[in-house]
Amino acid sequence: MALASLAVPLILAGYAALCALSPFGPCRKCRGTGIRTARKTVKACRRCRGQRLRLRIGRRLLNTSRDIQRVGTRPHRPTIRP
């Protein structure tokens, strides 16, 4: 029980570090190939648009929370009108 409660924060910390160091992971839809095959035609993967990479979910959360924090703490400058 004690070991399990210790493992969860460790895994979360590891995932957070992974998201900070390597924000992009392989696309799950095309498994990192960037192509989609359907009925003998080869097309670029729609999810990653052929980029083969996608932004990790943890990184997206980090970016969103950072954006919200920035918008919320930005000093309010009243517009000067002549």
Site residues for Zn ion per CB under 5 A: 27, 29-30, 45, 47-48
Instruction: CB nearer to Zn ion: give 18 or 33.
Output: 33
- Minimum CB separation of residue 28 from Zn ion in Å reads 8
CA separation for the pair 49, 6 (Å, rounded): 39
CA separation for the pair 32, 45 (Å, rounded): 9
Instruction: CB nearer to Zn ion: give 18 or 53.
Output: 53
Q: Which residues contact 45 (CB under 8 A, 6 or more apart)?
A: 27, 29, 30, 33, 34, 35, 36, 52
- Minimum CB separation of residue 24 from Zn ion in Å reads 12
- Minimum CB separation of residue 25 from Zn ion in Å reads 11
